[in-house]
Amino acid sequence: MTQAKKAFITGITGQDGSYLAELLLGKGYEVHGLIRRASTFNTARIDHLYVDSHNPDARLFLHYGDLSDGARMVTLLSEIRPDEVYNLAAQSHVRVSFDEPEHTGDTTGVGAMRLLEAVRLTGLHCRYYQASSSEMFGATPPPQNEETPFYPRSPYGAAKVYAYWVTKNYREAYGMFAVNGILFNHESPRRGETFVTRKITRAVARIKAGRQSELYMGNLDAIRDWGYAAEYAEGMWRMLQADAPDDFVLATGIGITVRDFLEASFSHAGLDWQKYVKFDPRYLRPTEVDALIGDASKAEEKLGWKATVAPDELARIMVDCDIEALEHGDGYIDQPRLSGWPLHSELRRG
């Protein structure tokens, strides 16, 4: 009998980590995830995947650790000996990175180097995925692809540029199979509540239910290329199955403004967004990224990956899930939301 492949995922409790864990378990992998010790449980996005480790069927294992602790990365990798490492952990909020620049640089930037160095020190021949970001392009106008120069506009963007280059450097210096997935914004019903799409779709559900009457927002002119996160997890996996390590953009190629996303979300629930949305300068950033629209033709050509969910359709999916979540309380919906991809049970969180 061939042994199941082992994957190690940092950031497994986040949006992308939960979709990737589902995908890999579905493919028969043994999945190991890094979680941070907290005084409360923070595993809501993966609870539906967890089987007690005493059960012989258990294939998901969680380990305490933090990307700020390089020694822990070494001990964990030597114990687990994974075939594939996915580095998804980061302080991932751009606005917060202006408030916590040092912490963001330490985890989002140097954290990647700690993990790469741990792979090197343990001598593992595993494949490494780095969660790079379209935020690295920053002020460089769209369309952006793998050849577009970086011009980060936030401590987060700058930290991701460092992580990108250190990944490339370990590939060139030590012959590692280390790749950068340069992912444009991707969202889902599992998206963190302070990112703009989820903030909007959650507010739509609450306004519709009479539980909220106003929504305070920042810059409505920003253009983003919003795709569906479950599809992007598939793209990450495909990058690590390629014959040779390379860097890839994943995006839908469609850019819409925050205002357009508001319109798509509110009108889907029969509401007029202009009656509820108010401006609050606290949500502006000291430097903004005006427009991100990706060109993912390399991923389509070399990996056979193409986004199928457009931003306006995504808005409708997220609004439906948030309305359903409010009606039924917290819990999981164990049914596929979209056809054409592996089953993804969607989170119900109010």
Residues known to be catalytic: 133, 135, 156
CB of 229 to ligand GDD, least distance (A): 10
Ordered DSSP codes for 236-257: HHHHHHSSS---EEE--S--EE
Q: Which stretch binds ligand NAP (CB under 6 A): 49-57, 64-72, 78-86, 271-279?
A: 64-72
Q: Tell me which of ligand GDD, ligand NAP, none is bound by residue 277, counting a contact when its beta carbon lies within the kind-specific cut-off of 5 to 8 angstroms.
A: none
List 7, 15, 105, 245, residue binding ligand NAP (CB under 6 A)? 15
Separation CA 327–CA 322 (nearest Å) = 9
Q: Judged by CB under 6 A, does residue 347 bind ligand NAP? A: no
Residue 64 pairs with which residues in a beta bridge?
Answer: 35
List 194, 213, 287, 308, residue binding ligand GDD (CB under 6 A)? 194
Q: Judged by CB under 6 A, does residue 133 bind ligand NAP? A: yes
DSSP alpha helix (H) spans, the chain: 15-26, 70-80, 94-99, 101-104, 111-122, 155-174, 196-208, 229-241, 258-268, 297-303, 311-328
List 167, 185, 188, 265, residue binding ligand GDD (CB under 6 A)? 185
Are 65 and 76 within 8 A, CB to CB? yes
Q: Judged by CB under 6 A, does residue 130 bind ligand GDD? A: no
219 versus 297: smaller Cβ distance to ligand GDD: 219
- Residues 303-342 within binding reach of ligand GDD (CB under 6 A): none
Q: Tell me which of ligand GDD, ligand NAP, none is bound by residue 66, counting a contact when its beta carbon lies within the kind-specific cut-off of 5 to 8 angstroms.
A: ligand NAP
**Angle at the Cα of 223 from the Cα atoms of 20 and 215, rounded to 5 degrees:** 85
Separation CA 42–CA 47 (nearest Å) = 9
CB of 219 to ligand GDD, least distance (A): 4
Q: Which residue has the tokens 């042994």?
A: 3
Separation CA 45–CA 225 (nearest Å) = 24
Separation CA 154–CA 158 (nearest Å) = 6
In a 13 Å sphere around the CA of 165, the CA atoms on its Cβ side amount to: 10
List 144, 154, 185, 197, residue binding ligand NAP (CB under 6 A)? 185
Q: Judged by CB under 6 A, does residue 118 bind ligand GDD? A: no
Q: Tell me which of ligand NAP, ligand GDD, none is bound by residue 68, counting a contact when its beta carbon lies within the kind-specific cut-off of 5 to 8 angstroms.
A: ligand NAP
Q: Judged by CB under 6 A, does residue 36 bind ligand NAP? A: yes
Separation CA 349–CA 328 (nearest Å) = 9
In a 13 Å sphere around the CA of 70, the CA atoms on its Cβ side amount to: 13
Residues that bind ligand GDD (CB under 6 A): 92, 94-95, 133-135, 184-185, 194-196, 199, 217-219, 222, 224, 258, 283, 285, 288, 292
Residues that bind ligand NAP (CB under 6 A): 10-11, 13-17, 34, 36, 42, 66-68, 88-92, 107, 131, 133, 183, 185-186, 192
